[in-house]
Amino acid sequence: MSEIRHNWTKEEILEIYNRPLIDLIFEAAKVHREHNDPKEVQVSTLLSIKTGGCSEDCGYCPQAARYQTKIEKNDLLSVEDVRKAAEKAKSAGSSRLCMGAAWRNVKDNDEFDEVLDMVKAVYDTDMEVCCTLGMVTENQAKRLAAAGLYAYNHNIDSSEEYYKEVISTRGYEDRLETLSNVRKAKLTVCSGGIIGMGESPEDRCGMLLTLSCLTPHPESVPINGLVPVEGTPLEEQEIVSIWDMVRMIATTRIVLPDTTVRLSAGRTQMTDEGQALCFLAGAGSIFAGDKLLTTPNPDFNEDMKLFNALGLTPKAPYKKGDKPKVDEEAYKTRPENGEKIKWSRPEHTIDKNVEASKKPKSEKA
The 10s digit of each residue's pLDDT in 263-294 is 988 888 899 999 999 999 999 999 886 555 55
Contact between 2 and 34 under an 8 Å Cβ cutoff? The reply is yes
Selected catalytic residue, list 247, 262, 267, 278 = 262
Look at strands 128-132 and 96-101 and give their pairing: parallel
Beta strands 295-296 and 96-101: pairing type?
unpaired
- Our answer to whether residue 98 is catalytic in this structure is yes
Ranked by mean pLDDT, the top range of 45-59, 84-98, 200-214 is 200-214
Rounded to two decimals, the pTM is 0.92
- Reported as a single tens digit per residue, the pLDDT across 137-167 is 999 999 999 999 999 999 999 999 999 999 9
At residue 58 the predicted structure's pLDDT band, cuts being 50, 70 and 90, is confident
Residue 262 annotated to the active site? yes
Q: Could you say which of 58, 131, 205, 278 is catalytic? A: 58
Report which of 129, 116, 132, 54 is spatially closest to residue 85, judged by C-alpha positions. Answer: 129
Catalytic residue list contains 54: yes
Residue bearing the bigger pLDDT, 293 or 305: 305
Please give the pLDDT value at position 70: 79
Catalytic pick from 54, 131, 205, 278?
54
| pLDDT greater than 50 at residue 364 | no
In 10 A of CB 10, how many CB atoms? Answer: 15
* CATH superfamily ID and name for 17-337: Aldolase class I (3.20.20.70)
- Over residues 325-336, the pLDDT tens digits come to 999 999 999 887
Q: Does residue 61 carry a catalytic annotation?
A: yes
Asked about 58 being catalytic, the answer comes back as yes
Task: Spot the catalytic one: 5, 19, 33, 61.
Answer: 61
**For the chain, what is the mean pLDDT?**
91
Catalytically annotated residue among 130, 131, 205, 278? 130
Q: Give pLDDT, residue 154.
A: 96
Q: Is pLDDT above 80 for 224?
A: yes
pLDDT at 365 (0 to 100): 41
Please tell me which residue in 5, 104, 143, 190 is annotated as part of the active site. 190
Mean pLDDT of 306-330: 93
Tell me what the mean pLDDT of segment 133-139 comes to: 95
| Confidence check: pLDDT of 114 > 50 | yes
Contacts of 214 (CB under 8 A, 6+ apart): 6, 179, 189, 191
Q: Of 83, 96, 98, 253, which is the active-site residue?
A: 98
